[in-house]
């Protein structure tokens, strides 16, 4: 008889409730073997399993963040392996088990260095949470650059973006719909199988229709750096024009995301977005910068040497003139708690917006995004107050 067989690869989560995509399973027994979830139920569990006690709390699917720039002092655009590792680990601790490192505006060299650093970390770390890069900057409208550095903005050109796509790591692609070259960009993004989004844009309804035809299905951070009826009046005067907001609200197929950090949008706006789009078309994102888990003070947004300056007040980032917001400084656990507190969305719906919905939109829901047999064991142990206690990536405890 062997007495040294303690290298079991079977783990069981018991002693609490599992948050499924459409309901809560109380007294849950969730069994994982190697990297996957193998069964879900109540009652008995295999004798060889090592037990993780939920202590009356929850087992949640790991969070999936589509839009995130950095954390714990690092920005993905610093373009080094170390910055990528630091940012990924910071967000793992806040429950993000699938991350899409997001580019800002910047030079082609900076963007290539960022993608390359993400590629290195993804291929070298067994427990890496990197799924793919979100190519976000630099293809923004000149009048909607927001807190990004203006010098790093430009219109899309094939000679440039073909190099990014050639890495095979770009999975989400953003471009303002009104830019010359947007159509070619969308076409190539679609060919690459990317999830296509329009953001930092002052696009009209007509421009959105053309983008939709080309495959665009999502709008970045709803209400932030996007067109509105009043903003389009400045472009087209009267009759007033429908904007990105009306386009998203009127098209069932369009999804969007909210920065539910408590500083960007009021509770009514969060409730409105949830009620209008539903939990299967609204994603929670952090849009978090390097000031996550850092003291208040001045930081660079984007690259550490030439990114634009912002100030963190401990709640959110502010532009240098103090007049506009400059992205969030919180993790996914924070936005989940805030969304739950601020809206009528149920706990399974709030968690869905932070896991299954972004998984479905990016086409990875067969592998991850919910607690379901056959999927990767990307799991979180949460307290009753939704604080992150333990984090598992493909069955391995990482935080
Ligand atoms: Zn933005
Ligand atoms: Zn952003």
The count of other CB atoms within 10 Å of the CB of residue 378 is 30
Q: So what's the pLDDT on residue 4?
A: 42
Distance 277 CA to ligand 1 centre (A): 20
> Distance between CA 134 and CA 142 in Å, rounded?
20
Exposed/middle/buried for 73, CB within 10 Å: 0-12, 13-18, 19+?
A: middle
Q: Which residues of the chain have pLDDT under 70?
A: 1-8
CA of 330 to the centre of ligand 2 (A): 13
363-392 pLDDT tens trace: 999 999 999 999 999 999 999 999 999 999
Distance 5 CA to ligand 1 centre (A): 51
Q: Give CA–CA dist 213/157, Å, rounded.
A: 20
Taking the C-alpha atoms of residue 136 and residue 87, their distance in angstroms, rounded to an integer, is 17
- Ligand closest to Cα of 226 equals 1
- Ligand number with the minimum distance to the CA of 67: 2
List, for residues 132-163, the tens digit of each pLDDT value: 999 999 999 999 999 999 999 999 999 999 99
Ligand located closest to 65 CA: 2
b vs e for 210-241, b when ≥16 Cβ sit within 10 Å of the residue's Cβ?
Answer: bbbebebbbbbbbbbbbbeeebbeeeeeeeeb
> Which ligand is in closest contact with the Cα of 76?
2
State in Å: Cα 224 to ligand 2 middle.
10
Mean per-residue pLDDT of the chain: 96
Q: Give the ligand whose atoms come closest to the C-alpha of residue 144.
A: 1
| 302 alpha carbon – ligand 2 mean position (Å) | 10
Taking the CA of 199 as reference, the closest ligand is: 1
Choose among 148, 153, 146: nearest CA to 324: 146
């Amino acid at each position: 008889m062997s007495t040294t067989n303690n290298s079991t690869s079977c783990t069981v989560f018991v002693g609490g409730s599992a948050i499924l995509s459409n309901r809560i399973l109380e007294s849950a027994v969730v069994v994982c073997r190697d990297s996957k979830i193998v069964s879900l139920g109540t009652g008995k569990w295999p004798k060889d399993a090592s037990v993780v006690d939920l202590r009356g709390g929850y087992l949640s699917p790991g969070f999936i963040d589509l839009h995130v720039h950095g954390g714990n002092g690092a920005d993905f655009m610093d373009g080094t392996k170390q910055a990528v590792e630091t940012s990924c680990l910071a967000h793992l601790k806040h429950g993000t088990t699938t991350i899409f490192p997001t580019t800002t505006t910047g030079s082609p060299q900076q963007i290539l260095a960022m993608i390359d650093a993400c590629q290195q970390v993804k291929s070298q770390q067994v427990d890496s949470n990197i799924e793919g890069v979100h190519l976000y900057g630099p293809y923004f409208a000149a009048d909607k650059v927001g807190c990004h550095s203006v010098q790093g903005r430009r219109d899309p050109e094939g000679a440039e973006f073909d190099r990014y796509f050639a890495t095979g790591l770009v999975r989400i692609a953003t471009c303002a719909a009104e830019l010359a070259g947007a159509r070619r960009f969308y076409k190539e993004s679609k060919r690459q199988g990317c999830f296509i989004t329009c953001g930092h844009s002052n696009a009209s309804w007509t421009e959105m229709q053309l983008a939709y035809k080309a495959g665009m299905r999502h709008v970045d951070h709803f209400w932030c750096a996007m067109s509105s009826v009043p903003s389009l009046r400045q472009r087209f005067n009267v009759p007033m024009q429908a904007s990105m907001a009306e386009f998203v609200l009127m098209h069932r197929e369009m999804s969007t995301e909210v920065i539910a950090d408590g500083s960007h949008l009021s509770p009514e706006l969060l409730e409105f977005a949830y009620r209008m789009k539903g939990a299967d078309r609204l994603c929670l994102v952090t849009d978090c910068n390097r000031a996550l888990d850092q003291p208040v003070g001045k930081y660079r947004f984007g690259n550490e040497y030439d990114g634009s300056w912002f100030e963190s007040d401990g709640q959110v980032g502010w532009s240098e003139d103090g007049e506009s917001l400059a992205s969030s400084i919180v993790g996914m656990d924070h936005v989940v708690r805030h969304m739950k507190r601020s809206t009528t969305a149920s706990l399974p719906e709030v968690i869905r917006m932070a896991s299954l919905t972004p998984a479905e939109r990016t086409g990875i829901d067969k592998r991850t995004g919910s607690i379901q047999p056959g999927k990767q064991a990307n799991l979180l142990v949460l307290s009753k107050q939704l604080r992150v206690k333990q984090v598992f990536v493909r069955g391995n405890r990482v935080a």
